Amino acid sequence: MTKIARIKTDLNIDVKEFTDILRNKELLIFEDIQGSKVFVQWNGERFIIKPKSLNMDELNIIDLTVQKFYNYAFEFFHTLPDSVTELLNKNWWFCFEYFPKDDVQPANIEYKRFPKNGLILSCIVKGTKYFYEYEELMEYSKLFDVECLPVIFKGRLTSKQLEVIELYLKTSEKDLDYIFGDDIVNFAYFFYQILNPNLENSFLMNNKEFNDNLEKIIIKIDKNSQYSFEILNPLYQRLSNTNNTNYTEIYSLILLSFLEFCQLKNINKYKLERITKDQLYIEFICEIFNKYVENMGKDIIRWNFDIPDFFREDKFKINIDLLNNKETIKNIKSNEKIEYIFKIVLGSFNKKRKKPIGVFDEHTLIMFNNFVDKLSSVIENRLKINRETSLTKGDLHDFKSYFQLKYDQMDDGSTIIPDVYDEFEEGEGKKKKKGVEPLKKGKSPFPTEPFTPKKEQL
């Protein structure tokens, strides 16, 4: 098997064995779609939504406040009629590719058409198994009123089709153009012509237009989840992720500055009035952030650093409509740097972190996690209701009230960043940074010189 093909099984097989597996089998072959993956379950009372994978935490009111990215999905699912929800299996997870409102490029591939209601049903998870039965997916996509998995071919491949696929997989990347000519320049067009020449365009593209940056096609044996095969596009281009590495040091400096400010405050004295854990967290961050801006606002504005381009898109902006603190809203609106710092702070102090990043060393990481524990303890002591049953309902009620507000349009653009710290963590690896001395009282934590990324960060 050449490096341009990958088989997602534990089998160690060559090209001939691969095509033999496909021969005389009922196959489902579809285009890989790059939206933003969400898993959705109806539990009988409300929808549970998880981003990326089933191992992720459920999206909560904090996630929705940090950015507007998921507004459209929450509004869609939470306003579905009873005629839909009463037909849903409460034990199943429905996996969708999600596109924020009017965003045709939430990941690496730019499309020309926005999918119906911004969602594409790609599979159904029953227990621990992922099911791709086409008739079932079509049935539920119609129920949800969304688009279905973009199937190119369903049935048995002919000998001629298998012969062309086998030849493609045996051809080295440098010889593809020589063997197949101009047809291979557009990977999508090449395989659509082999598998289903009646289709005049690839998925989410205009008539007679084929996506020129499709990453792969996926092959599954119908009604058999054991096998999953991928044929890769050697010309596929990913979007650059330079933002993550370029801004790591600034990001960690912001966290360190806010953390050290919090060390000087008695967090037990804040009178918090909200009634759920997440609401209390937001309320606390708003209260102490206002004090932070009061003390450090001038230094923040003088601090010469660049804000990531993605932050300027509306879908990644703070969801001000979910904030109740008027002073915080005023601070956010006063300066773009202050809004960016609030976004980082709000999305970072609600859970402990696993490894250092940027200027965070092991000691600073321990200090950060200890503060997260302390803050969590303060919030827990404020709770007067049963967290297991009432908290999530309270959060859902708050967001449902948000549905009545005016819904903003979102711009096209960058990839989703649901947890900025996690994204930076992945880029850091095991690289160690020198320790950072605690700030002396009255000393500004912000450099006055422009920030220049280190060579290894570029």
Q: Which of 10-19, 286-295, 373-382, 441-450 has the lowest mean pLDDT?
A: 441-450
Q: Give the pLDDT mean for 395-404.
A: 53
Superfamily of domain 36-149: DNA ligase/mRNA capping enzyme (3.30.470.30)
Structure confidence at residue 147 (pLDDT):
97
What sign has the CA pseudo-torsion 132, 135, 140, 146?
positive
Structure confidence at residue 388 (pLDDT):
47
* Greater pLDDT, 119 or 108: 119
Cβ–Cβ < 8 Å for 61, 322: yes
Q: Considering the entire predicted model, what is its pTM?
A: 0.79
Q: Which helix (H) or strand (E) holds 64?
A: helix 61-66
Structure confidence at residue 434 (pLDDT):
41
Number of H helices, E strands in the chain: 16, 11
By three-state DSSP, how is residue 96 classified? strand
Q: Give the pLDDT mean for 347-371.
A: 90
Percent of the chain with pLDDT over 90: 52
Candidate ranges 198-207, 220-229, 247-256, 419-428; pick with highest mean pLDDT: 198-207
Cβ–Cβ < 8 Å for 134, 220: no
Q: Give the pLDDT mean for 29-48.
A: 95
Q: Which of 133-137, 236-240, 349-353 has the lowest mean pLDDT?
A: 236-240
Tokens of 197: 């020449």
Structure confidence at residue 385 (pLDDT):
43
Domain ranges, ordered by start, for the chain: 5-31+153-232, 36-149, 242-457
Query: Quick one: DSSP state of residue 232?
Result: E
Structure confidence at residue 33 (pLDDT):
94
* Greater pLDDT, 275 or 64: 64
Q: What Å distances lie between residue 419 and 80, 355, 439, CA to CA? A: 28, 15, 27
Integer Cα distance of 60 and 394 in angstroms: 11
Structure confidence at residue 386 (pLDDT):
35
Classify 145 in phi/psi space as left (phi over 0), alpha (psi -120 to 50) or beta.
left
* Distance from the first to the final alpha carbon of the chain: 34
Q: Which helix (H) or strand (E) holds 396?
A: helix 391-402
Q: Give the pLDDT mean for 205-212.
A: 91
pLDDT higher than threshold 60 for residue 341: yes
pLDDT higher than threshold 60 for residue 225: yes
Q: Whose CA is closest to 106, among 116, 119, 95?
A: 119
Q: Give the pLDDT mean for 336-351.
A: 94
Structure confidence at residue 170 (pLDDT):
80
Unique residue bearing structure tokens 């330079």: 242
Structure confidence at residue 235 (pLDDT):
78
Structure confidence at residue 79 (pLDDT):
94
pLDDT higher than threshold 90 for residue 59: yes
Output the average pLDDT for the chain.
Answer: 81
Tokens of 314: 């509306």
- pLDDT-based confidence at 92, cuts 50/70/90? very high
Structure confidence at residue 421 (pLDDT):
58
Structure confidence at residue 272 (pLDDT):
80
pLDDT higher than threshold 60 for residue 448: no
Q: Whose CA is closest to 407, among 102, 49, 51?
A: 102
pLDDT higher than threshold 70 for residue 455: no
pLDDT higher than threshold 60 for residue 317: yes
pLDDT higher than threshold 50 for residue 338: yes
Q: Whose CA is closest to 303, among 405, 449, 402, 180?
A: 449
